[in-house]
Every structure is written in C-alpha cells, then in structure tokens.
Structure 1
Amino acid sequence: MSAPRKRGRGLRAFFVLSALLVGALAYWAYDRYTAFVDTPLSGLQAGDSVVVERGDSFAKVLQRLRDSGVTEGHDLEWQALAKQLQAAGKIQVGEYPLDPGTTPRALLLRMRDGKVLSYRFTIVEGWNVRQLRAALAKARPLRQETAELDDAALMKTLGHPGQHPEGRFLPETYAYTRNDSDLDLLKRAHAALDKALDAAWQSRAADLPLASKDEALVLASIVEKETGIASERAQIAGVFLRRIKLGMRLQTDPTVIYGMGSAYAGNLRKADLLADTPYNTYTRDGLPPTPIAMVGADALQAVTHPADGDALYFVAVGDGSGKHVFSKTLAEHQAAVREYIRRYRAQYGPK
C-alpha cells in the first residue's frame, strides 16, 4: 500500500472521529440545555425575589439572579433561552418572585411579560383617616411619600385642596408593586370612592332629605360605624333619614366618639353625650361637618336606597350578635333599652 493512500485513510478516519465527537458534544450540550430550561431552580425559598431595575442589561439581570442565589445554568444557556423565548432585550422593570419550583423558562417568560410580584393593602370599612395613615406607614415595600404631610397637605398633594380626608378613600383591597408609593395607592382609593359615591347618588331614591352627595357620604359613614351587619344597613339608614325629615337629632354615639378624638378611652359616659362638639349629634341638629370613617360601597347604597319602615329608634340586642332592635315610639325604644341592659349584665356583668 502506498503512503498517500494510507494518509488519505487516516485523514478520513480523523474527520469521521471529529464529526462523531462534535455530534456527541452537540447532543450532550442540547441534552443539558433542554434539562436546564425546565428543571426547577434549587435553593429557592418562599418569599425570595429578584428586582430588575431600569436600564439593566440581560447580563446585569443574570448577575442579579446569581446574587439572589441562583447557581444553575451557564451564562450561555441563559442567553440561549432568552433568545429562544424572545425575552432578550424585553425584560421588564419590576420585582419577580423566586418561588420554589420556578424553572428558568417560567422565570424568563414572567420577566418578558412583566408579570411582576404584587402586594396587597386593604382599607378596612369603618377605619378613620388616622388608622388608615398608620397602616399605610407600615405597608412594605410600599414607598413612603406622605409621612411628612399633614392631612391638609396630603389632600392638596392629591389634587383636592381644602377637602377633609375623612371618609374619602374607598375600603377595598388594592394591589401594588415595589415601585408604587403610598401616594399612588391613596390616589386610586380616592378615585374609587368618588366613583362609588357618584354611582350611588345618581341612582338615589326619590325624596331623600339630603342636599348633596357629600351629605350622603357623611350619613353613610355613620351607618358604617353603627352596624357590622350587612342586612341592617338599609334599616339604620332609614331610621336616620326619617329623623332628618322630622327635624329630630340623630343622637348617634359614633359621632360623639369621633368628636372626642384621643380623649375617648373606650367608655362613653353621660357627660360625654352632654359635652358639645361639632360632632355631637345629641347637642347639635343635623349631620356632623364631615364623615367620621371610611365608607364602603354597601353603606353608600344603603343611604341612597334606604329600607322602608316607620322605626325612629334602634338599640343593640345585647346578646353579642351585633344585631339591633328597631322601635317606632320612644316608649318601645325605652323598653328595648332596658332589655338590652338586662341582657348585657347577664352576659358581661354590671355595666
């Protein structure tokens, strides 16, 4: 056999072996890649997250993942996956959860589509503005922008200068993200209250003894504080509206308590009912000057669509249920009050 023929066969063998090696490497790389993209990332704990900031390159995003404890995958694999998912250059700003079970594919799809981590903040029906602001100050990771603003400055910043803040934010659960601020949330809650109040006022029953939707809001805040029983709201609203029509004072404890502010220690005394303030509906006619609490949509509907009836009084049953007894006459009401006191003492001892 000639030397050139031997060399030719050696070259062919070399190329065949090289091709087989390249093929094997390619298969190994593909197998590794396909396993990587859909295998849950290890070491993640509930509550872990990664933040993508404005201007971050994909390399920076990947570094943030590494800093968060993600060790899986070569950078080239992450880049290949981003290209495959058309996520390269399209990662959106925000905070993303790194929950146990998250795969690289699921994570990059979430980042591409901007499905950021959201938080919840609930404004509770019946809260006053002090309670609302105290709760907002503790909400994390909500950015705090209103801490140094008093109530007047807050309402001016919200675009409603001169408006009292009480009752102006709709009780509801609001979703927010890491980039949102307490001011953003309050703007949404204020707009939601305006929308609910407008809807209730525009559909109101005929002949309501209320001059404006703001008066409806004030009365709704009283109803909100008087009962936690949904089925009673319209009944209690009816009682107050009939008293207004007849020129009777509202005589409702929650307004007195609100007017006492921090002086209220949890027990309303007879002297408190006689101490005149702008919010004492035992000593003053008509509605108090502002709402006394945050008002839910149901209370607004109750005031603008009150239940029919002839009751002018109500008092708690006294059995711990939160329900009330409704009376047409003062004599009936006084009897109901005596029964309330008897039941209360039987259950809790002398009042």
Structure 2
Amino acid sequence: MPETPSSDDQFADLFGKLPAPQRAVPSRPDGKSPPDRPSEQPLSRRAAREAAARGDAEASELHLAAGGVAAAPVTAADHAATPRASGEAARGETRAAAPEPPRSPATIDALFGADAAASDHVHDKRHARDRRKGRIAGWVILGIVLLLLGGVVAGGFYVWTTYEDKIRAFMGWEEPKDYEAGQANGEAVVTIVEGDTGSSISQRLYEAGVTKTSGAFYDYLISNAVATEFYPGAYRLQKQMTSAAALEALEDPANKMENTAQLREGLTVEQSLPILADGTGIPLKDLQKAVATPADYGVSADSLEGWLFPATYTFGPEATAKDVIKTLVDRTITSLDRADVPKDRREEILTIASIIQREARFEDDFFKVSRVIQNRLDSSNQETHGLLQMDSTAQYGYGEMHDGSASTSAEAQYDDNPWNTYVRKGLPVGPIANPGDLAIDAAMHPAEGPWLYFVTVNLDTGETIFTDTYQEHQKYVKQWQSWCAENPDSGC
C-alpha cells in the first residue's frame, strides 16, 4: 500500500490501516518451525494432546495458551518449585516464550465509533437547542394568540355595552317591554303625587315591580293615545301587570287606599305633606303647621327635611296632624338607631343618605355613591378640591328638583345657595330628601373603591358607570348624551 493516503479511494486507505489478524501457532518439539507457519505460533490442539501424553510440560503450557487461556508469567518461585524446569534451564534448553493473548481484530465500527459518538453528541446538542427554540416560539405564538383573543373580547364587550339596544333591534333580539297577561301576582302600593305625569308614573310603576320596564306604561299611553287624569293617593296594585291592566287599576276608585298614605323614598317635605293629607283626610294646612317646629319631635335642625321616613302608613280616623308627623319622625329615629348612627351625627348621616337616595338606582350603586361622596370630601384630593358637585343638591337648592328632568340647568348649577355643592365645598346645609333604610346603611358603610365620578348612561335600565378620572368620566357623559338624543322623551 502507498505510505501516504490516496485521495482517490478513502475507504481503501482505511482498510489498509487495519492490522492483520494474528494466530498463535506452537513451535515443533525440535525447535524448528512448521512449514509455512511462523515459529512463534502455538501447537494445534491435537499436537498439544500428544505432547501432554509424552509429559512435555512445555508443550502443555503452549496447549493451555492455544486453548484460549492466558498463561501466567513464570516467576523465580515457579522454577524453584519445579525441578524439571530447573534442570532443563541448566542444560541450556531454550524454552519458548509464552505467547501474548490474542488481540481482537480492529473493525469498521471501531474506526468509526469515535466519530459516530462525536457526531451523536453534536446532533443531541443541536436537537436540544432546536427543541428549546421550538418551545420559545410556541410560547410566543400562544401569547400573541391570547393577546388577539383578549382584544377581540374587550372590543366585543365595549361594542355590546355601548350599542346593545341597537344590536338587539337590528338582530331582532329585543326583549318584550311589558309583562304578558296572566303573570300578575302579589301586591304593590303605588303613590301618585300632585303634578305627576304619565312619564313619572311609568317610572314609579317600574320601581314598585308592577311593570317590566320603566318606559312600558308611558309607551302604552302614547301608542294608544290615552288621555286620562290621575288623582293623588296610594293605590293597591299587583306585581308583574301589563301596562293596560295597571292603567285600569289606577282608574278604579276601589283600589285607592283610605286612611293610608305611602311616602316613597326621595320625596321632600313639600311633596310628602299633600300625600299625607290626601291619605288621612287631615287638612294640608294642619300638616304644614305641624312640621314648622322640628324641636317638638326632638330634632335640633331648622327643618324636618329628611326626617319624614318613607313607608306606607295607615292611621285611625282620630289621628291629628302632629300624631302623623311624630309617627314618621319616630320611624326615622328607629332606622338611624338600627344603623348605629351616633346621636350627634344623625343630621350629617341623613344629609349624606338623602344625596345617595336621589343619585343611586340599584342597591350596589348606593354603597358606591357613598364612597364617591367620601372620596370627594377628602380635601387632599387635588382633582375635586372638596367639591361634591352633585346635581341633586344644585336642583334642590334652586327649586327645580321636581321638574321631571335629570339634567341640571346652568342657572341651578351656578346659583350660590347653601345646598349647591357645585359652588360650596363639603356637604349641603342639610338633607335634600327623605332617605330609606338602604341609603342610611350605605351612608354609614360606603364601599371600598377609588371612584370620583359616576353617570347613569341609560335612564331606562339605570345602568351607572363609576370612574376614577375626569377624562374617563367625560367618555361616559358622551354616551349618556347620545342615549338622551335617541330617547328624547325619557326624562333627560
């Protein structure tokens, strides 16, 4: 073979480097090598057996080596223990050296084993790196998908909450505005006050659970061109009535409750006295005189505003005006005591509760509005500077609370009076209406939250949005303005 590798045939070069396999062949007894065999090769098995029969120990050792068992090296101790071996050494006989153990021939696997192992190691490292990259790529893709899905969900939620009524109308998903006939059950008392219109009565029927939506009764009056006159008083109706059935019940004198007066939450003293007069038969002027002196009932305030507790009352025919007023004031004190209101804070809590009563629609909103009041009263709040800016207080101070509009006129908003919280810091000088149990409880236990603003974006459903910043608040004010533009007869 060439001493230098040939580039023409690399496999030939590799095979050329393989060592020739060696076989141990024993020497002949006369010391001569058999023909065509190297002298170092051991005897065959047959020759070894024949030598053993002749007592040739040396050939026997070679036999053991030829049989595949490596002979142990001969030491000086072995010679001493074997006289025959010592004699032979003295006679100068040459002893054949024990052959080396046969080596396993090199193979192709042996040549390529190291390279293959190195290649496998590199492959494993590359595979592990590829798997890591694959996992990272998978997480990145999953994150992108989740972000996209989150954006779709958030966008869908915004569109639904903003345009729910339009979507329902377009898709034909509008829910019935009125209950179906035959659903009426239970009992509900509805009070009509002087000056009520179809729109305000419609709202009151809804709040009492008589009609399904706040506009159902009013829409029925308009669509059927109903022209009727409503008389003040307390009327006994049922819950879940149709608008037609509710109208019939209000026009039936038998449903008007005698010697009974119902004061609903949020009424003022001015609104409450005519209801009491109509329900009890006591002259209005007697009732007006009875409320002129709050001290007669243990109230230290200048007015009984907020102290005539809203509830349904039935009086005997002998009741006087003072009896009636005392019954209502005592009921207010009972409610304050139940809420653990300290005596020296009664007027303050009634003032807060009266604002909550006028501003909130649903139970959860009562406690949130209470928190907004507390947050805005905090003088350290740089966004509000201690101004409540409640429309209900501006309307009460200017005398436009009962004009049927939820909006505050510019004149009322900037009028400087002791109740207007747009121009005066802190609470108004006193209550602005009669609060109920829920409002008193909310005044004592406001919800936890950072809210500073709220606006009712749908007067039919009462949906109210609470926000932390003026910029966010303005977004929902625009939503309310859009709703009012689409519902011009809704009381905006």
TM-score, length-normalised on structure 2?
0.42
Structure 2 distance, partners of 1:148, 1:331, is: 46
Compared with structure 1, are the counterparts of its residues 213 and 349 closer, same or farther at alpha carbon in structure 2 (3 Å cutoff)? closer
Residue 254 (structure 2) aligns with: none
Consecutive unaligned residues of structure 2, counting only runs of 5 or more, are 1-256
The aligned residue for residue 392 of structure 2 is 254
**How many angstroms does 1:175 deviate by?**
2.4
1:34-93 Cα deviation digits (max 9, x unpaired): xxxxxxxxxxxxxxxxxxxxxxxxxxxxxxxxxxxxxxxxxxxxxxxxxxxxxxxxxxxx
C-alpha distance in 2 between matches for 1:133 and 1:241: 32
1:242 aligns with 2:375: yes
CA distance in 2, matches of 1:222, 1:144: 27
* Paired position in structure 2 for 1:338: 478
1:328 Cα offset (Å): 0.8
- Report what 1:302 is aligned to: 442
1:223 lines up with 2:356 in the alignment: yes
- Count of aligned pairs: 227
Residue identity opposite 1:253 in structure 2:
D
2:467 to 320, 327, 340: 327
- Structure 1 length as normaliser, TM-score? 0.58
2:431 aligned with 1:291, yes or no? Answer: yes
Among candidates 395, 420, 427, match of residue 280 of structure 1: 420
Give the residue type in structure 2 aligned to 1:271: E
> Matched residues in 2 for 1:225 and 1:263: separation?
10
CA separation of 1:119/1:128 partners in 2, compared to 1, >3 Å: closer, same or farther? same
Alignment equivalent of 1:126, drawn from 261, 266, 276: 266
Check 1:143–1:264 CA distance in 2 against 1; reply closer, same or farther (3 A cut): closer
Moved more, 174-183 or 295-304: 174-183
Q: Which has the larger radius of gyration?
A: 2
Report the secondary structure of 2:314's partner residue.
strand
CA-to-aligned-CA distance 1:182-238 (integer Å, 9 cap, x gap) = 3212111101101211332449xxxxxxx8232111010000011232231111111
Equivalent position amino acid for 2:469 in 1: T
Q: Distance in 2 between matches of 1:239 and 1:263?
A: 21
SS at match of 2:289: coil
Equivalent position SS for 1:309: coil
Structure 1 pair 132/202, CA: closer, same or farther in 2 (3 Å)? Answer: closer
Match in the other structure for 1:232: 365
Corresponding residue for residue 186 of structure 1: 325
Look up the equivalent residue of 1:260 and give its one-letter code: Y
Q: Distance in 1 between matches of 2:268 and 2:402?
A: 14
Q: How does 1:70-109 map to 2 (within 5 A)?
A: none
Choose which of 290, 293, 311 in structure 2 pairs with 1:172.
311
- Aligned partners of 1:166 and 1:294 also within 8 Å: yes
Gap runs ≥5 in structure 1: 1-116, 204-210
Per-residue deviation, 1:259: 0.6
Distance 1:165-1:121 versus aligned 2 partners, 3 A rule: same
Q: 1:258 to 1:147 in 2, by over 3 A?
A: same
Instruction: Give the direction of change, closer, same or farther, for the CA distance of 1:349–1:197 in structure 2 (3 Å limit).
Output: closer
Aligned-pair distance for 1:141?
A: 4.2
CA distances 1:300-338 after superposition (whole Å, capped 9, x unpaired): 001101111111100011352122110011111011111
Q: Once the two structures are aligned, what percentage of the paired residues are identical?
A: 29
Determine if contact 2:290/2:322 at 8 Å carries over to the other structure.
no
Cα–Cα, structure 1 residues 311 and 159, in superposed 2: closer, same or farther, change >3 Å?
closer
Identify which of structures 1 and 2 has the higher relative contact order when contacts are C-alpha pairs closer than 8 Å and 6+ apart. Answer: 1
Q: Which residue of structure 2 aligns with residue 314 of structure 1?
A: 454
Distance 1:127 1:159, change over 3 A: same
Cα-Cα RMSD: 2.8
1:269 has 2:409 as partner:
yes
Residue aligning to 2:125: none
